Structure 1
């Protein structure tokens, strides 16, 4: 279980990183963000770099969360972000550049939705897939 403000904080930082990536076309910045996505997917969002910043610098200044949420959907969202990050990095480094910019833009849009509105697109995809597999297992 995680404080839902942590993934939203991470999404805000990710939004800024991806905006700078799109503006500058810097593949190394996108590669760095991709590593952050991978760490969040594999080690958990609390152990990802932005999660650590939230845990040690931001959360102590906030009150306790109103509720906690399951970590699985945000971890899945981080994995989806990693896929787009890999595609974008490859596009920016080896071409076509349109692939790099498109993948970065899609990741930016998803991060922005979470940061600005608390809507985690990857989390929603996770829930749809999970409900489809649970229903499929029952039939």
Structure 2
């Protein structure tokens, strides 16, 4: 589901830039914000479960993991895209808006193709510095692979 969500962000942010459609930046940012705040209401989750899995296009691969770092990463992506939307709609600094969108696109691409979540990485380091909670796992708490 996380890879599907990141793939959606990747595709939507690419289309928004290539087709010069700032409204797609806003829609993607809102979808990511909703996913971070209320994961059960995530539009990506709904599409994944109700369409993609039911149609048999993808099969879920369950991985035990703490969702907090992923929600944090979604929140950061949402913040960048919503800031980009504000810049694109309300200012003449469109280059800045597209740069913020491209940053999200690049980080989503790295996550999809390499498996490295930059937002999760930041979350883990903030946890090491005592600014975020530690990451859960079955045997208690530990720091994730850093």
Task: Place the TM-score, normalised by the shorter chain, in its bin.
Answer: 0.7 to 0.9
Q: Which runs of 5+ in 2 are unaligned?
A: 133-146
- Residues of 1 paired with 2:122 and 2:99: CA distance? 20
Choose the corresponding residue for 1:124, options 121, 126, 140: 121
Deviation at 1:55, TM superposition (A): 2.5
- Residues of 2 paired with 1:25 and 1:64: CA distance? 33
Q: Which residue of 1 aligns with 2:17?
A: 22
Identify, as 1 or 2, the structure richer in strand.
Answer: 2
Q: Which consecutive aligned stretches of 4+ in structure 1 deviate over 2 angstroms post-superposition?
A: 55-67
Identify, as 1 or 2, the structure richer in helix.
Answer: 1
Pair 1:78-2:70 in alignment: no
In 1, are the aligned partners of 2:73 and 2:119 still within 8 Å (CA)?
yes
In 1, are the aligned partners of 2:30 and 2:82 still within 8 Å (CA)?
no
Q: Which runs of 5+ in 1 are unaligned?
A: 1-5
What's the secondary structure of 1:119's corresponding residue? coil
Deviation at 1:66, TM superposition (A): 5.3
Root-mean-square deviation (Å): 2.0
Q: TM-score, structure 1 length as denominator? A: 0.83
Question: How many aligned residue pairs are there?
Answer: 129
Pair 1:115-2:112 in alignment: yes
Deviation at 1:36, TM superposition (A): 0.5
- Residues of 2 paired with 1:56 and 1:127: CA distance? 32
Q: TM-score, structure 2 length as denominator? A: 0.79
Choose the corresponding residue for 1:67, options 49, 63, 68: 63
Deviation at 1:56, TM superposition (A): 2.9
Q: Which residue of 1 aligns with 2:28?
A: 33
Deviation at 1:106, TM superposition (A): 0.5
Deviation at 1:63, TM superposition (A): 5.3
